[in-house]
Structure 1
Amino acid sequence: MNVLQFTDKGIWCPAGDFYIDPWKPVQRAVITHAHSDHARWGSAHYLCQKETVPLLQLRLGADISVQGMDYGEMLNINGVRVSLHPAGHIIGSAQVRVEQNGEVWVASGDYKLEQDGISAPFEPVRCHTFITESTFGLPVYRWQPQQQIITDINRWIYENQQAGKASVLLAYSQGKAQRLLHSLQDTVPHFLAHGAIANVNELLRNNGYPLPLVERITPETPKSAFKNVVVMAPPSADDTVWMRRFQPYSLGVCSGWMQVRGNMRRRNADAGFALSDHADWKGLLSAVDATGAEQVYATHGFSSVFARYLQEKGIAAKEVTTAYGEEEIITNTES
């Protein structure tokens, strides 16, 4: 039974008549998380995990029609049982479990297995069919523990301060930036931030998340304020006039793509930190194994390689083309 189908609008549940992370406007959209490639404007009604609601409103507009659910809460949609389960990707991220006549499918959205200290930890969900991302579905991508990477970042910041430089960290404004702010707040007394990051940080602080205060950078911020400080900026700010005000500065890029040294050179970065909000090769395999799925669909990323590897392990796996993964393109590095 095909509980879910892949269409030109997105992942569709025919019986429930809803779409999961549709990339075209639909009547009813179930959203895994609030990143732009999974949460698009134009649908009539949205359903998501309750912590994603304010993030979705920030991205799509406060006037959207949106319903929030707790993790594990069960909702009946036209006879189909739908529930959301932690994906560990960013705050509020969820896997979507869909059950019809005893057949269970799970759409993972994006996920990571390592606990980051701020997102609800990934929860394996048993199913017959698993739709998995494969952003980093190559054996070369194997992450170091988060604390080791944070230690490396702190060392880099200290070296920059000794050299009289500001430390500019590029990180996706929704997810990665908060992970860094939360992890560095005990060692960095003061953060300056691009407006995109300051907006998300303020929103989440107002919703009770233990994030440090950041100083929003404005045209009135004096150049003297940038000496030896830590600046948080989205990758879109790289190589812009906005960045020049921090000179002299050292540029650090926080992305899983930094696992491959050539990517750091192409970004003209001074340092690359392979901190990703996605599962690495071992994490992907572990997640698939934990579901017990008999059938796996691999989407966005190295999907053909990952599907072929699963096939060699005796799992019925297929590659599926979707419109996800835009924030992962190395030219944006919002990963």
Structure 2
Amino acid sequence: MARNPLLEFTDTGIYCAEGKFYIDPWKPVDDAVITHAHSDHARWGSKRYLAHKLSEQVLLYRLGDIQLQTVEYGEKIMKNGVEITLFPAGHVIGSAQIRVCYKDEVWVVSGDYKVEDDGISTPFEPVRCHHFISECTFGMPVYKWKPQAQIFDDMNSWWCNNIKEGRASVVVGYSLGKAQRILQNLDLSIGKVYTHGVIENTNEALRRNGIQLNPTHRITIDTPKEEVRKGIIIAPPSSVGSPWMRRFQPYDFGYCSGWMSIRGAKKRRAADRGFVLSDHADWDGLISAIDATGCEKVYLTHGYTASFSRYLSEIGFDAHEVYTLYGNDESEEDTAPVAATQADDPVTNDHNSLSFGEGRGEAGTL
């Protein structure tokens, strides 16, 4: 009699019945293994959490007083006879792919990932497996990223020009991942870096974890506007159009997102500049990462799941869509709903188009 798959897709999350744990559950459970600290993957309410050690302080900052165990990359942990190992995902600081092994069956849950080394996150490492669970946020050929060095050359030139013209520079990116990536790649010979409180709280949590970040200056009510104009401000998406941001007028603001590659996204965000910078893999990155696993089957959790799974099937992969509650994290939430539409894209946005169990048996088991 064939046994059930080692990992199953349930209405609570990705479940390992043998090990009695969930990976990135979206409902409270007894044992949660977490890929990274973004809000769609790390949710409050579970009894016990396991994550990479560099996620520790951010998870405590975001989720409060939780029971948290942390491990290094490559360190093996056993849960009820099932082996768990974390490998770098390259998405944000502390992000991990979860390798789950029992007897002769190996699964890898990637969480979110990118394959370019951003200089601050531990670079993505392909992991061989039989079954690979992958995102495909940018799983369309139109999404192909330029090397980040080109993006930051452009950003630093924009910053210099704003100083010459007496305008403040505000660059917008999410507080965990994008903000630190921006910070570490700015040319600090130009000026100081000022931060919104939400950004600085996350920076402080990462510094408590031993991460060496470039110097920043928290903006308070007493921060002189004239001094800020000589530097650059890193702010979260929630600050766009707010009284907090308007206090720095005149200013230019640049939005950092993979969705900035779509026609009209910059205009709808009222951004002066759109910097195409994403912490998710692009089309080529997704395909290369999946191919490097040598997997027998690939499961797509969020993004352009229908069209990407069709493409993977056409080139020889056994690809499947699965429905999850991932993909609405802080990383792109302000732009994705309006950017990835038929008006801007050559295809329909088929994000998470299947429900549990559709064509795949009971409880979404594959």
Same fold at TM > 0.5: yes
Q: Does 1:14 align with 2:17?
A: yes
Deviation of 1:91 (Å): 0.6
* 1:271 aligned residue: 273
* 2:313 aligned residue: 311
Letter in 2 for 1:17: K
The farther-off stretch of 205-214 and 305-314 is 205-214
Of the three residues 216, 219, 222, the one matched with 1:217 is 219
Of the three residues 104, 107, 124, the one matched with 1:105 is 107
Evaluate the alpha carbon distance shift between residue 37 and residue 80 of structure 1 in structure 2; reply closer, same or farther with a 3 A threshold. Answer: same
Deviation of 1:185 (Å): 4.6
Of the three residues 136, 139, 142, the one matched with 1:140 is 142
| Contact preservation (8 Å) 2:39, 2:330 | no
* 2:50 aligned residue: 47
In structure 1, the gaps of 5 or more residues are none
* 2:231 aligned residue: 229
2-side partners of 1:187 and 1:225: how far apart? 15
| Contact preservation (8 Å) 1:18, 1:28 | yes
Q: How does 1:124-203 map to 2 (within 5 A)?
A: 124-203=126-205
2-side partners of 1:101 and 1:296: how far apart? 20
Letter in 1 for 2:310: R
1-side partners of 2:243 and 2:281: how far apart? 34
Deviation of 1:333 (Å): 4.1
Q: How does 1:310-329 map to 2 (within 5 A)?
A: 310-327=312-329
| Contact preservation (8 Å) 1:75, 1:83 | yes
Count matched residues.
334
2-side partners of 1:327 and 1:187: how far apart? 33
| Contact preservation (8 Å) 1:298, 1:320 | yes
Evaluate the alpha carbon distance shift between residue 328 and residue 257 of structure 1 in structure 2; reply closer, same or farther with a 3 A threshold. Answer: farther
1:229-248 C-alpha deviation (Å, 9 max, x unpaired): 20110001111111110100
Letter in 2 for 1:166: A
Evaluate the alpha carbon distance shift between residue 6 and residue 25 of structure 1 in structure 2; reply closer, same or farther with a 3 A threshold. Answer: same
* 1:56 aligned residue: 59
Letter in 2 for 1:24: K
Deviation of 1:222 (Å): 2.9
2-side partners of 1:329 and 1:31: how far apart? 17
* 2:91 aligned residue: 89
Letter in 1 for 2:40: D
Letter in 2 for 1:16: G
Identity value in percent:
57
Letter in 2 for 1:279: A
Q: TM-score, length-normalised on structure 1? A: 0.96
1-side partners of 2:99 and 2:334: how far apart? 31
Q: Does 1:24 align with 2:24?
A: no
Q: Does 1:247 align with 2:253?
A: no
2-side partners of 1:174 and 1:4: how far apart? 28
Deviation of 1:187 (Å): 3.7
1-side partners of 2:336 and 2:66: how far apart? 25
Deviation of 1:334 (Å): 8.9
Instruction: Specify the SS of the correspondent of 1:327.
Output: coil
In structure 2, the gaps of 5 or more residues are 338-366
Letter in 2 for 1:315: F
1:297-321 C-alpha deviation (Å, 9 max, x unpaired): 0111111111111111121101111
2-side partners of 1:207 and 1:70: how far apart? 13
| Contact preservation (8 Å) 1:328, 1:334 | no
| Contact preservation (8 Å) 1:327, 1:334 | no
2-side partners of 1:10 and 1:188: how far apart? 46
1-side partners of 2:109 and 2:41: how far apart? 12
| Contact preservation (8 Å) 2:19, 2:82 | yes
1-side partners of 2:271 and 2:263: how far apart? 10
Instruction: Specify the SS of the correspondent of 2:329.
Output: helix
Deviation of 1:331 (Å): 5.1
| Contact preservation (8 Å) 1:167, 1:231 | yes
Instruction: Specify the SS of the correspondent of 1:326.
Output: coil
2-side partners of 1:95 and 1:311: how far apart? 23
* 2:357 aligned residue: none
| Contact preservation (8 Å) 1:182, 1:210 | no
Deviation of 1:213 (Å): 1.8
Instruction: Specify the SS of the correspondent of 2:264.
Output: helix
